[in-house]
Structure 1
Amino acid sequence: MRTHLVELMCFCTFTSLMVVCGQENKGNHFLCTAVPIGEVASCPLQSAPVRSSAREEELKTTVIQLRETVVQQKKTIVNQLNTIKELTNKLSRCKPAGKNSTTWRKNNQTMDDVPNDPNETIKALTRTMQSLKERLQNLEQQRMRANLSGSAFPSALRELLQRRLWELERQLKQKDRELAVEKAQLYNDTAAHRQRTESVLHSLKNRISDLEKGHAGFKSPEGFKLSFTLRRNYLFGRVKKSLPEMYAFTVCMWLRSSASPGVGTPFSYGVPGQANEIVLIEWGNNPMELLINNKVAQLPLYLGDGVWHHICITWTTRDGVWEAYQDGQRRGTGEYLASWHPIKPGGVLILGQEQDMVGGRFDAIQAFVGELCHFNMWDRVLKHVDISAMANCSTYMPGNVVAWENNNVDVFGGASKLPHEFCGDMLYDN
């Protein structure tokens, strides 16, 4: 528009010069200079108007409107560019790091890539916002999954800890039960040890008492014998003294029997829980047997000939070694009879019957028939020479556990005590 205006003014000046100067155009060239319309002073005569004033005003108005339109469009474009730049800066702050950077650059435009066309710009922004919305949804889903996994993990951890606590509680209860059992066992062991100690002390007192009696002029206790004339389950004698705990013993006696078959049971010792703690028995057609803690050893003794015989039995818990003597001679020996089993204290010692329960339930078939005397017991193994001396009546040794004393034996059921001289009748009868 500005170019057309200049051309118009040049045309006006050229025409005016032609009129004012009165010169003809003979091929000369004129230099046309752009001069505003109101400042044409070189033209002295303006009698010939170039354009009408209405046309000039219209053109002027058109130029001004076009100029304002251009300025307004320029402002609009500048504002749009500023808006796009601001959005681009905001998007750049949200750009992720790492492997998603390339994807971000592909899905988002920088200022240099923004199209000049406003419609294209709006479309690009729409695509960018849609991409951001999708990424926001993805992030929200990842957050939800993380929350779910995070909530599940503490739940699993709580379950694991709970199971561990239950296991520890179970182990604690088991340990408590074991400690209670050990405590009870320790108490029982302590009580048993105390009982054994008291038994040993009691035995020592009895030994001291027996020794004191011996030094005070002990009288021979062999002035009586027991007689069991019938095979019945109610004839028996009972020793008043109880036995202490023993790890060895020797028992000796004189007896005479002609009963058949078998002489029966000269003596038996029973304790709670074991009626056959110590038993000497010959019944039926069986040989003479020694029972300790219900374990059996057969003895090569023969006593049913109706004459007096001196017999001794020794035993020790060490390897269960036993020996059997008849009339001062060793007739047999063996081992592994109730090895390492101590003889229990607190039982009942019966003469003439076998006990099926402590102190009773006798069987007539197993009853002793004959005469018995000089029953003595020691808590040690006597030497062979001592046993031989007692068998030939050259010495007398009362038992330190059970001594043959009249006031130490009671008789029941028709069994009788009869006078008997020390070894005189045995030697004379034999």
Structure 2
Amino acid sequence: MQHNTHGEMQAIKKAISWKLFILSYLFVEGSCQDFGGGQTQFICTSVPKDMDICAATLQNSMPGEDLKTTVMQLRETVLQQKETIMNQKETIRELTSKLTRCEGQSAPEPGPGGRRKETGIKNTMGDVSRGPSDTLAQLSQTLQSLKQRLENLEQFSRNNNSVQANSLKDLLQSKIDDLEKQVLSRVNSIEDDKPGLRNETEQRGRVESTLTSLHQRITDLEKGQKENRPLDKFQLTFPLRTNYMYAKVKKSLPEMYAFTVCMWLKSNASPGVGTPFSYAVPGQANELVLIEWGNNPMEILINDKVAKLPFIINDGKWHHICVTWTTRDGVWEAFQDGVMRGSGENLAPYHPIKPQGVLILGQEQDTLGGGFDATQAFVGDLANFHIWDRKLSIGEIYNLATCSSKAQIGNVFSWLESSIDIYGGASKWTFEACRQLN
């Protein structure tokens, strides 16, 4: 586009130069006289500076009518040439403006204060100057590096089945998990912000294919290790807000006149971490729900009655939280990291938790076992989810938060891989609560 514009401008300049030459010639010819027969000669006559050239010519030579006709023709020619020049100047200005805009497309426009505006799509890798192609290419290179490291790990594991090899596996699993979250978030960002960039589909497919391959190979490596791992040493990961990613507890809850719910959570989602768990029964979708959505504080719902909880957990760190409740007077207490942060009463007093319901992790139910809303989905990691049908003491809760050997497991629901099913892309990873405290 720049090349064509430059050529047009050169052609216009040549045309203007040529026409200016003709115009100057006509002016000279209009002020001079033609004499002779076979060969044309021009004799120029001096004219006072204040005198009109054409009038002087009239006085000095040609017959009046012929001279008048010639002068009129010359004046008409001059006017036409003048109009042509003005039109060509306007054309030059338009072409120059277009050329400037074309050249300007390759650089960001100046923003307020002389700073350049950001034109790249902000990505989850923290580089706003890169476009989608550059960022996905960077992710592809990172995946290739991880793939090579995984191959080295496989060889190392075959040659030396040691504790160090298992440690390397865990580290690589963590890095691949984090990378997958970044890729998924990046792809969703591209689709939301730039719906026209469909040319990224092929590269996205390659990245996702590589991730799938890496996950499969990690799974193969873990088969032997998983058989020896305790069933409670795992965490659930929900990397994105969706209406299809969740875990379902295989059995229902019994009728309860008191309860304690405890778990480990890690999230940096904003606004709100979402819904760590929800329990629905026929006729009441909000029988027992823990939720933090929008800019609201975390809340506990019992039979649609609400109490606001003083938890602050969306800092990307692991936190241990517990909520206790008794039907008598609806008394509740909230603990974060082993310390009581708040308490209250009149939360659904004298309403027992009903049995025969559905317990979901990661989503809020609008209908029994379904009706999920992506805006209320949990984003982050969840582990060691336990339920008791009594109110635990402050000491018991402290033992849970500090990984004491005296800590108990839930008598209504205890955290075991065999007790839940996962759906929609939620994943399981090895988790050691006590390791998070070191």
When normalised by structure 2's length, the TM-score is: 0.47
Larger Rg: 1
